[in-house]
Amino acid sequence: MGLAGAIRVDSEARSGLGWLLGARLLLAGLSLGLAVAIDQIEGEQAGPGIWGVYWTVVSAFVATIVSARMIDRTRDPVRFAMLQVGIDVAIVTSLVYFSGASESVFTFLYALVVLYGALFLDRKGVGFSSGLAALGYGFVLFGSELGWLPEMGAASRSRSLPLLGAYWGFYAAALLVLGILANMLSAELRRTGAALDRRTTDLRRLRDLHLRTVESITSGLLTTDEGGCVTSFNPEAERITGFSAEEAKGEPLEELIPGAIEVVRNAGSEEAGEPSVGRDRVAYRNRRGEELFLGLGASSLRDEGGEQVGYVVIFQDVTDVVSMELELRQSERLAAVGEMAARMAHEIRNPLASISGSVQILQSDPATTLADPEHDRLMGIVVREVDRLNVLISDFLRYSRPAVSKPECVRLAPLVEEIAQMSGASAAGNLEVRLALDPEIVVFADPSQLTAVIWNLWNNAVEAVEGSGCLSVRVERVPEDVAQEGAQSGRNREGGATSARTGSACAAVLEIGDSGPGIVPEVQERIFEPFFTTKRDGTGLGLATVQRLVEQQGGSIEVSSEPGGGTSFRVFLACAESL
């Protein structure tokens, strides 16, 4: 590393220079203390040199102040540091000269200058500082002995030049060795400090990553001690349970999540020396009063030595999963029952046809009719009820085994207008019909099945107002997210409507409403169930079939009603490209 690389730039370099000036300030203070002590002890024997020591100390303070004001202006920290070392050597040389040259008590200050200079300069800089200190000391030593400099204080004893040279050479070598050792120690400390900084940075990043990971996961995460008391609680755990981390810490796990302690105990058991993982699903009522199902998983928490110090519990809100599982099981049961019922219905139709044919033959026999007129009336009842049963079976088969859908691009407005004209409802009694139809809306659906849906909903609305009231039909575009919300709302209320995953940017809504007496909430919850009806002669398959047909088109249906406020059925379908 070059001399310029020995000083860190910018703030770090200026900070190092500040420490260097601080060292000079300490050196000046130490020198002042020694000068005062010498002056008090020796008194007049100190001679005129004591004032030179005082002025040198004053010069050191002045140089420190001037240098401190120049730190922020310097552009080359290396040269500035070398200049300060030179100033320090000059100050020490002056102190040594005025305090007795070779007999001076300030000689050790050369070593201090080399020592703190080694903290900021590399080996070349150490050679510069130690060499400069050796030259300064040699100047005073040889100058005083050879008479180049006037004597200060008591006369020193005379030494031969070889002895003087050996003394000076030993001292110079000692300064050089001291500087090298100090520089090596300083370099090692810098490397150790840099490595420690890297490790600290890595540890900080790892800690921050751990915290961000724990805070960002979409599962509740908590830890407990061996006694089952909570020691940490992440934000998702706060959201699910309703407890804040401050409230949860220190509380028993069983009080926060009843039933979780059993999962933790299962995690604490070991089989064949391997720690086991506890898993379970529990019903849970959180602090907000929401009824949830939680999927829990627990495992042992171990320290760096492998000793168990607690447990880690991960949990998720699986309420939607449980609901879908229940619906799936119910659908599977209904599918099996429906398949069996469809086969039975198909088998029943043949005997019914035979019964109806036989009764009609008996009715056509004049002898039987004249012999007992009551027989004719009873056989008429049999034929009528057989026909009703046949209609019921046909409706059930149509519901359980709908025809294969053949979707195509269809305009909704003409279909609604055609049904309105066919029904003649606009001219019946006091019924008012309001149509708000967007003629540009095109949907992708089976025309015949879509017609059956509209016709069924239209007839229900007409029957609800009983010939007097208002019937409204609306066809318009809505954003896809509105259709999704409507589908989800319908699913929650009716238990059967599913969201329309159309993949289109918009959806079409067909709304048929009436001003009838409305539907009570208890009936709304079951309105799409097969065989549920409030009509005296209804089969309970009309709306169930409508829902099945709408879902077969990839759409959804919902109902909204208030007692005394009328009823509205909304059908959401995917928009298609223009015809």
pLDDT tens sequence for the chain (579 residues): 343 344 444 455 566 667 667 777 777 777 777 767 766 666 554 455 677 777 777 877 887 777 777 777 777 777 777 787 888 888 888 877 777 776 677 777 788 778 777 776 766 777 788 888 888 888 887 877 776 777 665 545 566 777 777 878 888 888 888 888 877 887 788 788 888 888 988 888 888 887 888 788 888 899 998 888 999 899 999 999 999 989 999 899 888 888 888 888 777 655 544 555 678 888 899 888 889 999 888 888 888 888 888 889 999 888 888 888 887 887 677 666 666 666 666 667 667 777 777 777 766 666 655 556 666 677 777 777 777 677 666 666 666 666 667 888 888 888 888 888 877 644 455 778 888 888 888 888 888 888 888 888 888 888 888 878 888 899 998 876 655 555 544 443 333 333 333 444 578 999 999 988 888 888 888 888 877 777 766 667 778 888 888 888 888 899 988 888 889 999 998 887 665
- 309: helix, coil or strand? strand
pTM: 0.44
Provide the 3-class DSSP secondary structure of residue 556: strand
* Rounded Cα distance, 436 and 459, in Å: 18
CB-based contact 541:395 (threshold 8 Å): yes
Cβ distance 120 to 80 under 8 Å?
no
pLDDT digits (tens, 9 = 90+) for 212-248: 887 888 888 999 988 889 998 999 999 999 999 899 9
Do the Cβ atoms of 398 and 494 come closer than 8 Å? no
By three-state DSSP, how is residue 558 classified?
A: strand
- State how far the Cα of 384 lies from the Cα of 374, in Å rounded to an integer: 16
Per the DSSP assignment, residues forming a β-bridge with 316 are 295
Residue whose pair of structure tokens reads 């008429």 in the numeric block:
380
Query: 272, 266, 275: which is closest to 307 by C-alpha?
Result: 275
Residue 572: per-residue pLDDT: 92
Torsional sign, CA 159, 160, 166, 169: positive
pLDDT tens by residue, 24-61: 777 777 777 776 776 666 655 445 567 777 777 787 78
Q: Which residue has the tokens 């990839």?
A: 554
How many Cα atoms are found within 13 Å in the side-chain-facing hemisphere of 452?
22
Q: How far apart are CA 23 and CA 67, in angstroms?
A: 13
Rounded to a whole number of angstroms, the distance between the first and last alpha carbons of the chain is 79
Beta strands in 330-462 (DSSP E): 408-411, 430-437, 442-445
Q: Residue 240 and residue 248: Cα distance in Å, rounded?
A: 13
Measured CA to CA, the distance from residue 114 to residue 109 in angstroms comes to 9
- For residues 502 and 480, the answer to whether their CB atoms sit within 8 Å is yes
How far apart CA 269 and CA 273 sit, in angstroms, is 9
